Amino acid sequence: MSAECSSYLNADKVLVNGFSCPRAGGDARAVFCCGFQDVKYCCDDPHSFFPYEHSYMWWLSVGALVGLSIAAVVLFAFIITVCVLCYLFISTKPRSKLDTGLSLQTAGKTSC
């Protein structure tokens, strides 16, 4: 079984001639033509969309986990700081009324 990959223009607008799958010197199991309009390659799975190994996905996942971990630590530190500041604000608030310097007296009846 073999497949024909037609010629195409790659991302740099360079014409790539058509070829047959499997390619000479390539994997004998790669009998399907896979890819997109600007990149075609021989593969062993007709539903394959990427000509790369999937190991790079592991590094993307590790990078995402590290980034999310850092963001979570920063968010946690922010929440703790806000809670501490609110507690300090409430606990240092004066509990008695402020002295205005004026003594208020009740108005008594005065005789004329």
Q: Which amino acid is at 32?
A: F
Q: Tell me, what amino acid is at 101?
A: G
- The ranges of the chain with pLDDT < 70 are 1, 48-60, 95-104, 106-112
Domain layout of the chain by residue ranges: 4-43, 52-91
User: What are the tens digits of pLDDT across the range 74-99?
Assistant: 999 999 999 999 999 888 877 666 66
**Residue 40 CB burial class (10 angstroms; 0-12, 13-18, ≥19):** buried
Task: Please tell me the distance from the alpha carbon of residue 73 to that of residue 81, in angstroms, as a whole number.
Answer: 12
